[in-house]
Amino acid sequence: MTVYCLYIFNRYGECLLYRVYKRTYAPRDPGDEQKNMYGMLFAMRNFCQKMSPAQAAESDGKGLTQREVQAHLQYYVAGNYALHYFETPTGLRFIMTTGTQFTGFDVNQCLRRIHARLYVEYVVSNALYTPGEPIQSALFLEKLDAYVKALPIYE
């Protein structure tokens, strides 16, 4: 079980952070990969929403809340890796690719923590960060690496 890499996108699809951990190869063009990934997730997100059974129920007039209707993509598992996805209400997307053996460990929860405890503090509260630009903050990267490397799924 390993953590391969971590991406953060903003709601305009700009990649704010691409951090490699145990990825075994480097893509030829990371920018291209990021664009494809954002496009795929965007489509998947909309499709997940469309397929939500709660949505049908809502049209029956049962008056479900927005929260109940929402059906966010959480992760997908491919043959030899898994991709975990977390989206904040402001449209920030946190994506982590890991190995497939993560049962019993909530990777989404990790992404939430990265957002709440690291991103909000060391990026949003950093007076010298301009929103929308790639994250360069050394302090944030240091904390992020320490956090990811301390995860039980990181080996």
Partner 1 sequence: MARRETGRLSWVAKKQASGAHKRSQSVRGMEAGALPAGVGAGSGAPAGSAGYGAAMAVAAAAPGAQASPTPGSTLNILDQPLARQRGEVSLSAYLLLFCELVAYSRNRVSSVVALEARLAAVGYRVGERALEYVCAKSGKPLPRETRILGILNFVVTNLWRFLFGKNADSLKKVGNSDAEFYIEEVEPLVNTFVSVPKDFGALNCAAFQGGIVHGILSAAGFECEVTTYVRDDSSKPGSAEVTMYYIKFSNEVIQRERRLAG
Query: Under 8 Å CB-to-CB from 147, ≥6 apart: which residues?
Result: 113, 114, 117, 118
Percent composition of the chain: helix, strand, coil (DSSP 3-state, to 5): 45, 20, 40
Q: Which 102-131 residues touch partner 1, going by CB under 8 A? A: 113, 116-118, 120-122, 124-130
Q: Which is nearer to partner 1, 41 or 84 (CB)?
A: 84
Q: Which of 150, 153, 154, 155 binds partner 1 (CB under 8 A)?
A: 150
Residue 111 CB, nearest approach to partner 1 (Å): 12
Query: Does 22 interact with partner 1 (rule: CB under 8 A)?
Result: no
Q: What beta strand segments (E) does 21-81 contain?
A: 75-77
What is the rounded distance in angstroms from the CA atom of residue 32 to the CA atom of residue 14? 12
Q: Which is nearer to partner 1, 49 or 137 (CB)?
A: 137
User: Which residues lie near partner 1 (CB under 8 A)?
Assistant: 113, 116-118, 120-122, 124-130, 136-140, 143, 146-147, 150
